[in-house]
Homo-oligomer: A and B are copies of this chain.
Amino acid sequence: MEFLTGVKQKETVGIQEILEGDYEGKTVKIHGAVHNIRDMGDVAFVILRRREGLLQCVYEEGKTDFALKDLKEESAVEVTGVISAEERAPQGFELHLSEIRVLSEPAEVMPLAIHKWKMNTSLETKLALRPVSLRNVRERAKFKLQEGIVRGFREFLFGQGFTEIRTPKIVSRGAEGGANVFKLNYFNKRAELGQSPQFYKQTMVGVYDRVFEAAPVFRAEKHNTTRHLNEYISLDFEMGYIDGFEDVMAMETGFLQYTMKLLEQDYQKELKLLGVTLPVIERIPQVRFDRAKELVSEKYNRKIRNPFDLEPEEEMLIGRYFKEEYDSDFVFVTHYPSKKRPFYAMDDPEDSRFTLSFDLLYKGLEITTGGQRIHDYAAILEKMAKRGMDPEDIRDYLMIFKYGMPPHGGLGIGLERLTMRLLDEQNVRETTLFPRDVTRLEP
C-alpha cells in the first residue's frame, strides 16, 4: 500500500530560497516559463517567468547541450545552472545554464508581446486575449495587489472579532429589488442572483454579532460605463451593537489603514512594478450629503440641479474639494436622502427625509455604500408599508426583527473599484480579472 504523508520535497528551488540562502557558485535546478529570449550572438539571455518574478538565465554557446533555436518563448522548462551575483539582473543574480529540459511547448507564437514592460495595446485587445495577456508581469501584479486588499479586509476584521460567512447567491428575491436583477429558473421556481448579501449578513448579526463576506454580487444594470460591472466582488461587513453609523465608518477607516500597511509590508514588489503610491489615511473627513452639494456648488460655481441625488460629476467635484481643502483622497458623504436608499436603511430621527447612511468616495468615485439599518420589527413594517411593499414577500428576512435584533449597521465595498482607484486606472475592467459587462460574457 502506498501512502501520502504531506507536501513533497522537490529537487527544484525557488527565487526566494536563492535570495535567502547561500547559493553563489552553486548548481541549482529551477522551473519556469520562457518569458523572453534575447539573443546577443555568443551569449543569450533566457528570462524565466515564475510566480515570484523574473529570473535571468545566461545561455552560452557550447555550455549547454540544448540548441537555443529550439527553445520557444512560453515553453515550460526546468533548467540547471550555476548561480552568480549580477546586480543588473532583476533579482540581483543570474543563472548560467548548463541544462534545459522542456516540459511543454506552445503550439503557436504569442499573439501579443506580453514580455514588454507596457504592452502598448488597447484595453479591448487585452481583454479579448485575457487568458494570456495576464501573463504580463504588470498585469498580473494588479491582481496580486487585489489579493492583498482582500487579505487586509479579512485579517483586519478577524482581529476585530468578526466571523466570516458564506451566503447563497441563488435567492428567491434580491435585497434591493427593482429591475436590475438576473432571473433564473430554479426547478420551476422563479429565482434571482443575489444583488447583495444584505438580508443574510443582517441575519447573521443575530448569530455572531459581527460578520463579513467577500463574494460575488450580480447586477443586471444596462450601464456600460468605465465604472460599472455586472458581476463584481463585494466586500461586505455588518456589525451589531453600534451606537450609530459612525461606528461603521470608523471600522472602514480602520480597514483601510490596516490594508495600506499590509500592502506596504507584503506587496512591495507589486507596488514598485506598478509605481503605486499608497494613500496616507490618518483621518477621513465626513460631510453631510446636502452640505457637500453646497460646498461644491459654491467653490466650483455649479448649479444644484437635483437636491436628492449626486451626479457622477458632482461626486468627482466633492472628491476634488476634499483633496484641495483637506488633502484627503477619501471623504465620507453622509445622510443620503431616504428615497434614494433601500427600505432597510434607518431614517434620521431628526429628519426622516434623510437616512443614517453614507457613501465613501475615493478620488471622487463611490467605492462603498453603508449605514445603520432598521432593527425594530414595527419600524421596518411601517417603512415597508409606506413603500407599498408586501411583508409576505420577504417573510424569512423579517423573522429576524420579529424575534429580536440588536442595533446594527454595515457596508459593501466594491473591490474592483477600490483597486482601480488605488492603481489610478481609468477603467474598472483594468482591475477585474475576467470582467462581465453588457457586451462581455467571455472569456
Any chain B CB within 8 A of the CB of A176? no
- Given contacts A134-B204, A241-B76, are A7 and B285 in contact (CB under 8 A)? no
Alpha-carbon gap, A203 to B247, bound state (A):
41
Partner among B104, B204, B250, B415 whose Cβ is within 8 Å of the Cβ of A4: B250
Minimum Cβ distance to chain B for residue A218 (Å) = 7
Tell me whether B406 and A4 are in contact (CB under 8 A): no
Interface residues of A in 102-133 (CB under 8 A from B): 103-108, 110-111, 129-132
- Given contacts A164-B150, A375-B104, are A406 and B31 in contact (CB under 8 A)? yes
Any chain B CB within 8 A of the CB of A404? yes
Tell me whether B172 and A182 are in contact (CB under 8 A): no
Interface residues of A in 134-162 (CB under 8 A from B): 134-135, 140, 143-144, 146-147, 150-151, 160-161
Tell me whether A3 and B284 are in contact (CB under 8 A): yes
Partner among B378, B399, B406 whose Cβ is within 8 Å of the Cβ of A76: B406
Tell me whether A249 and B4 are in contact (CB under 8 A): yes
Any chain B CB within 8 A of the CB of A51? yes
Alpha-carbon gap, A330 to B166, bound state (A):
26
Task: Say what secondary structure dominates the interface of chain A.
Answer: mixed
Any chain B CB within 8 A of the CB of A283? yes
Any chain B CB within 8 A of the CB of A240? yes
Interface residues of A in 163-221 (CB under 8 A from B): 163-172, 182-187, 189, 191, 193, 200, 203-204, 206-210, 215-216, 218, 220
Give the chain B neighbours of A415 by CB distance below 8 A: 166
- Given contacts A150-B164, A184-B193, are A107 and B169 in contact (CB under 8 A)? no
Binds B, one of A37-45, A84-92, A421-429, A433-441: A433-441
Interface residues of A in 380-401 (CB under 8 A from B): 396-397, 399-401
Give the chain B neighbours of A76 by CB distance below 8 A: 240-241, 375, 404-407
Give the chain B neighbours of A347 by CB distance below 8 A: none
Minimum Cβ distance to chain B for residue A329 (Å) = 14
Tell me whether A103 and B407 are in contact (CB under 8 A): yes
Tell me whether B108 and A403 are in contact (CB under 8 A): yes
Tell me whether B442 and A400 are in contact (CB under 8 A): no
Tell me whether B286 and A8 are in contact (CB under 8 A): no
Alpha-carbon gap, A363 to B102, bound state (A):
41
Alpha-carbon gap, A110 to B405, bound state (A):
12
- Given contacts A74-B404, A132-B399, are A257 and B182 in contact (CB under 8 A)? no
Tell me whether A103 and B144 are in contact (CB under 8 A): no
Tell me whether B210 and A51 are in contact (CB under 8 A): yes
Give the chain B neighbours of A404 by CB distance below 8 A: 33, 72-76, 104-106
Tell me whether B283 and A5 are in contact (CB under 8 A): yes
- Given contacts A76-B240, A135-B206, are A433 and B165 in contact (CB under 8 A)? yes
Minimum Cβ distance to chain B for residue A313 (Å) = 23
Tell me whether A287 and B231 are in contact (CB under 8 A): no
Instruction: Across the interface, name the chain B residue whose C-beta is closest to A187.
Output: B438
Alpha-carbon gap, A244 to B45, bound state (A):
30
Any chain B CB within 8 A of the CB of A300? no
Closest 3 CB pairs of A and B: A106-B404, A74-B404, A396-B443
Could you tell me which A residues sit within 8 Å of B by CB distance? 1-8, 12, 14, 31, 33, 50-52, 72-76, 78, 103-108, 110-111, 129-132, 134-135, 140, 143-144, 146-147, 150-151, 160-161, 163-172, 182-187, 189, 191, 193, 200, 203-204, 206-210, 215-216, 218, 220, 222, 230-231, 233, 240-241, 246-247, 249-254, 257, 282-287, 326, 332, 375-378, 396-397, 399-407, 415, 433-434, 436, 438-439, 441-443
